[in-house]
Structure 1
Amino acid sequence: MENVAVDEAVEAFLASAAELADCVRRGVGSPGSGVSGSGGSDPLREQADACLDGLGVSARVGAMVAGLTVRLVSGFADKSEAMAAPATSPGQHTAQEMGVVSEVACALTVSERSASALLAQSRELSTTLPLTLAALHSGNISWQHARVMVDETASLDPAGAAALEAHFLDPDAPHPARWCPAGDMVPSRFRHKARTWRERHHPVSIEVRHAKSFLDRRLEYAPDRDGMAWLSANLPADQAAGIWNGVTATARALQGPTEDRTLTQLRADVAAKLLLSAGFTTSNPTAGSTDAVAGTGSAGDGVAGRVPATDGIDDAVTGLLPAPDGVNAGRVPSPAAQVLVTVPVFALMGLTDEPADLDGYGPIPASMARKLVADGASSFRRVLIDPRDGAPLETGRASYRIPASMRQWLRMRDGKCSFPGCNNQSLDNEADHILAWADGGTTGISNLGSLCRKHHRLKHSTAWRPNEATKDEPPGWTSPTGRHYKSEHQDWETPQWPPHILDQLSRRERGPVVPEHIQSEYLLPADPPAEVAVPEDVLPGQPPPEELLPEEPLPEWVRLPWPIGEQHSSR
């Protein structure tokens, strides 16, 4: 069917695309880029800059085309449904839907399965997610970002879906996402952010959902090609993170000039050695005896394709193996590897049930975090956060050596490699001075960035440069061509306050905000404990009186003003 208006619009679009390609070929930049096709001293640089400008325009045009596709697919489905006779049976309704799917599949030259998924996503965007569709149609987010939004709102009611969408796409929302816009994040990072927000604001408590999902834990085995197989486990997040971090740390320790295995291969070898060396418990139903079966076979005869017996892993994993009497089958121990968890103070006290945050994963139930504290896991490192705005405290020192406490804080602030789009988790990363120590840079958190080894080498071997950081914000980056890329900040949220405290504050006519008499000397001491030390690249304040310094850090962190504490204790 011919449509003159559509044909003219298509011709105009193709002409514009051809003009853009010609500009790139001639080295003419887009308006505002500072690149000109005449008078330049370096034609190759001009053409390179024009190509980058063209890539940005191409990405935006691609998003706009995807938005147009969504509108067309949704519109065709609506018009087809309106033209069709009312279905008299479920079978007839299914046949009508199959007809629509087939038409879309043939028009786009895709499989019917892909067409069916596109129809479902288009309907969701057109009916439930108007802000997402508008952002896609304007080119502010990509099609991958839109699909992430559809996936993460799938199990939410309309109000919850609207709240999640507004948080990331509406700058006028009550609590918009901080710093990095959704379209400036790679889709995988946006999925992590959206999933984290969804977990925190889901209408069903994370405690309830975790209790249900905990029943689905399992270990799966799947044969693969060429004598290989997959072993995967669905575990509670703290256990999985502890296993992964422990295996990674051990694999890192084995790396050296004489080690030719990659980190990925070392992880697999360490995990195999741990599992096969720990011993397994089997019971004889007839004799009622229990024996420990040591791992044999693939762990130690030096045959090609197997882990050699003298590969150095035995000594490295000694501290990670359980005691000879095995593990109590009724209780899994807390992780023996380092696990970083951010815990709101009131949640740690049991006064609220808001989620804690597990480094490299996201929100976990408060009960899981409290269990880690109660178990006294030496590997567990808690980071108490400011009840006023959700941000942790800065740590630092003025020597070149970076202490463990500051490395923990850097993991907390950055969450991953600070390079744009990198997903490398913080445990694998290296702390790097933004301004080199030799050039006068200090070893304070505001002069440090977390970098994976790949991007650490990139910084020191190319013209890529990190920008300034703060105690709460990782550094952005400037490319060799002068383009600036914003950093991806943590989307901190103000912690919940216990209802009885809010009630008392309200009765004192001080409103729901933190009253003036709750000063930092109560919740945030001037000199925090050693675990959260004040940086020495900032002038320190006067230390608090000796009588205010606690023997343990936790009581001081959660102490409230005397009048509130007195009233609460009298209830």
Structure 2
Amino acid sequence: MDEWSGLDAEEYIASIRAGAIDPRGRTADELEEELAAYDRDWAERLARLSDAEVEQVIAGRMEVPPLPGTVPAAERPESVRRQEALAGRIRAIEQRRARLEAEHREVLAAELQHLRDAGGDVGMAVKESASILAAELRLSDRAMERRLVEAWTTVTDLPAAHASHKAGRITGTHLRAIEQATEALRTDPAVDPADRARVEAELVEIAERVTPSQLRSRARRIVDRAMAEPLQRRHDRAVEQRRAWVEDHDDGVSTLSLSGPSVTIHGAFNRTTDAARGKPKDDPRTFDQYRFDALMETLLTGQTPDDLHRINPISATVTITIPATELLKQTDDEDEPQLRFSGALEGGALVDAATVRALASETITWERLFLHPVTGVPVAVDTYKPNRAMRRWLQRRDGRCRWPGCTNRVSRADADHTIAHADGGPTSIRNLAHLCRRHHLMKHATAWTVRQLDQGVLEWTSPTGKIYLDEPEPAGPAFVDRGVDIWDLTSDQPARCTASDPPWAHLKDCTCDLTGAAR
């Protein structure tokens, strides 16, 4: 990389580590990696020269030739260099913005801490300070007071997340996702402070390499494991608050919102989605419009003619991952060892144990999915229909579109051949991954490339040459912390249940999950 020529690289990297921002948004660690690669490149290029050629280089009569097969930066396509420069510039701006937001937060937090330390009527002192700031910034004093409290709470309760945001390693959206995900954990006095700090550190580590949407999905399980109160009890209390409400907007439009059990809400939404999939090709309405109309017909009339929105013949389908150990339990005895994770819907919403067993008792068709005991990633499946088994296995492994940063659900994605079938790519789980329609098209129409590594990891290379790894997210829990002997999931001959056995028979020594289609 020619930009290192004539530059005191170590001094420059030290300045970045001390807080300066690189024009291309690179961190000190990234710069050190680039410098090391630059040194290796130079050493290898010089080693290929003869003594006479080295003398020519020293005398300035010859340039050191590039390594065979490499393209000098100046010779790369202009479009690639422009995109690379744009990405670097935007990244640097994002880092500066994150630093300013963090400094803004620190100033407000310090003001509130000063008022707390001063004693007296702290509440009134905060209101007075907020009113002064609000008048200066043309905000309401209530909004300014809320900002003071939120800033102090973040700096005090989430120091690691705040520090990561200030350093530009996560965005403000990531930070807000961590704040929201940990609110119940931070306000529960029964949770050990060490557990709060551990969860925060784990979420920050994840946030520094995934999108906010992916972070929210994974945060649910991480936070749930640390909560002192079992999910079942929290779920029962939350369900008591179920409600429906309406918000009116301009132009005669309103929003109907529902808050209730996840299984019920997802089942209703999936039912209207299935109806919309049957929309006639000549119907001018969009998918969302058709789904809305189908829902309104059902709510307002109770019954819908089969030929109108096709709601009647459709039964709602909810795909739920259930640990077999949960099905073995007969009660919710709190003296029994508790599995923190009872079940999860497609998309990551947690499901309480009572609902899990209620659905299990009514499910007709079962599919057994074997998960890796450490990572929770699917490794095998057994079923009577091999073609369907492959698709179901891939759906549970991927869980979403596998394009970097995408969280579109796998049920709305295509199973794409990593190496195109026309180019000899096999139809196997090692050459298939789910991509939503948008990214399926982009994979074939742009300069992005992808290859599959071990354990379902996809290595994406952008048009500018940057590499991104997309890893499958755990489909279920890991049982390594339960202190039991774990069946070796690497075996090529997984145990099988007979047709007469219940789905969870003989699983006391396994780490299987059961995926049922609850109808």
Band of TM-score, shorter chain: 0.7 to 0.9
Question: Residue in 2 aligned with 1:363?
Answer: 350
Q: Is the Cα–Cα contact under 8 Å of residues 357 and 364 in structure 1 kept in the other structure?
A: yes
Q: Mind listing any 5+ residue stretches in structure 2 that lack a counterpart?
A: 1-14, 25-32, 39-69, 331-337, 511-519
User: What CA deviation, in whole Å up to 9, does each residue of 1:49-69 have, x standing for no partner?
Assistant: 211111222222322332222
Q: Is the Cα–Cα contact under 8 Å of residues 250 and 270 in structure 1 kept in the other structure?
A: yes
Q: How many residues align?
A: 440
User: What CA deviation, in whole Å up to 9, does each residue of 1:175-214 have, x standing for no partner?
Assistant: xxxxxx3122222322222233223432111100111122
Q: Which amino acid aligns with 1:408?
A: R
Question: Residue in 2 aligned with 1:465?
Answer: 449
Q: Residue 230 of structure 1: SS of its match in structure 2?
A: strand
Q: Residue 285 of structure 2: SS of its match in structure 1?
A: coil
Q: Which amino acid aligns with 1:345?
A: A
What is the CA-CA distance between 1:360 and the residue it aligns to?
1.8
What is the CA-CA distance between 1:359 and the residue it aligns to?
0.8
> After alignment, is 485-494 or 412-421 more displaced?
485-494
Q: 1:31 to 1:63 in 2, by over 3 A?
A: farther
User: What CA deviation, in whole Å up to 9, does each residue of 1:465-523 have, x standing for no partner?
Assistant: 3331555x45343222222223153146654589xxx7xxxxxxxxx3527xx5559xx
Q: 1:198 to 1:475 in 2, by over 3 A?
A: same
User: What CA deviation, in whole Å up to 9, does each residue of 1:123-154 have, x standing for no partner?
Assistant: 22322222212212222112222222222222
Q: Determine which of 345, 349, 363 is the counterpart of 2:328.
A: 349
Question: Residue in 2 aligned with 1:270?
Answer: 294
Question: Residue in 2 aligned with 1:214?
Answer: 239
Question: Residue in 1 aligned with 2:107?
Answer: 72
Q: 1:403 to 1:248 in 2, by over 3 A?
A: farther
Q: Is the Cα–Cα contact under 8 Å of residues 178 and 203 in structure 2 kept in the other structure?
A: no
**1:558 is aligned to 2:507:** yes
Q: 1:255 to 1:550 in 2, by over 3 A?
A: same
Q: 1:138 to 1:403 in 2, by over 3 A?
A: same
Q: 1:446 to 1:41 in 2, by over 3 A?
A: closer
Question: Residue in 2 aligned with 1:431?
Answer: 415
Q: CA RMSD, aligned part only? A: 3.9
Q: Which amino acid aligns with 2:440?
A: H
Q: Residue 319 of structure 2: SS of its match in structure 1?
A: strand
Q: Determine which of 147, 163, 171 is the counterpart of 2:198.
A: 163
In 2, Cα distance between equivalents of 1:451 and 1:38: 32
What is the CA-CA distance between 1:165 and the residue it aligns to?
0.4
% identical equivalent positions: 26
In 1, Cα distance between equivalents of 2:23 and 2:135: 30
Q: 1:414 to 1:79 in 2, by over 3 A?
A: same
Q: 1:191 to 1:344 in 2, by over 3 A?
A: same
Q: How does 1:2-151 map to 2 (within 5 A)?
A: 20=23, 39-40=74-75, 42-82=77-117, 84=118, 86-87=119-120, 92-105=121-134, 111-151=140-180
Q: Determine which of 194, 213, 233 is the counterpart of 2:258.
A: 233
In 1, Cα distance between equivalents of 2:302 and 2:159: 54
In 1, Cα distance between equivalents of 2:153 and 2:226: 20
What is the CA-CA distance between 1:225 and the residue it aligns to?
4.6
Q: 1:497 to 1:483 in 2, by over 3 A?
A: closer
Question: Residue in 2 aligned with 1:514?
Answer: 485
Question: Residue in 1 aligned with 2:464?
Answer: 481
Q: Is the Cα–Cα contact under 8 Å of residues 371 and 378 in structure 2 kept in the other structure?
A: yes
In 1, Cα distance between equivalents of 2:136 and 2:194: 35
Q: Residue 363 of structure 1: SS of its match in structure 2?
A: coil
Q: 1:466 to 1:99 in 2, by over 3 A?
A: farther
Question: Residue in 1 aligned with 2:360?
Answer: 373
Q: Is the Cα–Cα contact under 8 Å of residues 356 and 365 in structure 1 kept in the other structure?
A: yes
Question: Residue in 2 aligned with 1:393?
Answer: 379
What is the CA-CA distance between 1:364 and the residue it aligns to?
0.9
Q: Which amino acid aligns with 2:311?
A: V
Q: 1:120 to 1:415 in 2, by over 3 A?
A: farther
Q: Determine which of 298, 302, 313 is the counterpart of 1:319.
A: 313
> After alignment, is 240-249 or 388-397 more displaced?
388-397
Question: Residue in 2 aligned with 1:259?
Answer: 283
User: What CA deviation, in whole Å up to 9, does each residue of 1:382-440 have, x standing for no partner?
Assistant: 6454556533333599xxx9933333222222222222232322222222111112222
Q: Is the Cα–Cα contact under 8 Å of residues 449 and 474 in structure 1 kept in the other structure?
A: no
Q: 1:382 to 1:114 in 2, by over 3 A?
A: farther
Q: Mind listing any 5+ residue stretches in structure 1 that lack a counterpart?
A: 1-11, 22-29, 171-180, 280-294, 296-308, 321-335, 503-511, 530-547, 562-571
Q: Residue 378 of structure 2: SS of its match in structure 1?
A: coil
Q: Is the Cα–Cα contact under 8 Å of residues 416 and 429 in structure 1 kept in the other structure?
A: yes
Question: Residue in 2 aligned with 1:416?
Answer: 400
Q: Determine which of 416, 426, 430 is the counterpart of 1:446.
A: 430
Q: Is the Cα–Cα contact under 8 Å of residues 248 and 254 in structure 2 kept in the other structure?
A: yes
Q: Is the Cα–Cα contact under 8 Å of residues 485 and 509 in structure 2 kept in the other structure?
A: no
Q: Residue 107 of structure 2: SS of its match in structure 1?
A: helix
TM-score by length of 2: 0.73
What is the CA-CA distance between 1:96 and the residue it aligns to?
0.7
Q: Residue 177 of structure 2: SS of its match in structure 1?
A: helix
Q: 1:138 to 1:491 in 2, by over 3 A?
A: farther
Q: Residue 393 of structure 1: SS of its match in structure 2?
A: strand
Q: Is the Cα–Cα contact under 8 Å of residues 344 and 387 in structure 1 kept in the other structure?
A: no
Q: Is the Cα–Cα contact under 8 Å of residues 338 and 381 in structure 1 kept in the other structure?
A: no
TM-score by length of 1: 0.67
Q: Is the Cα–Cα contact under 8 Å of residues 397 and 475 in structure 2 kept in the other structure?
A: no
Q: 1:443 to 1:118 in 2, by over 3 A?
A: farther
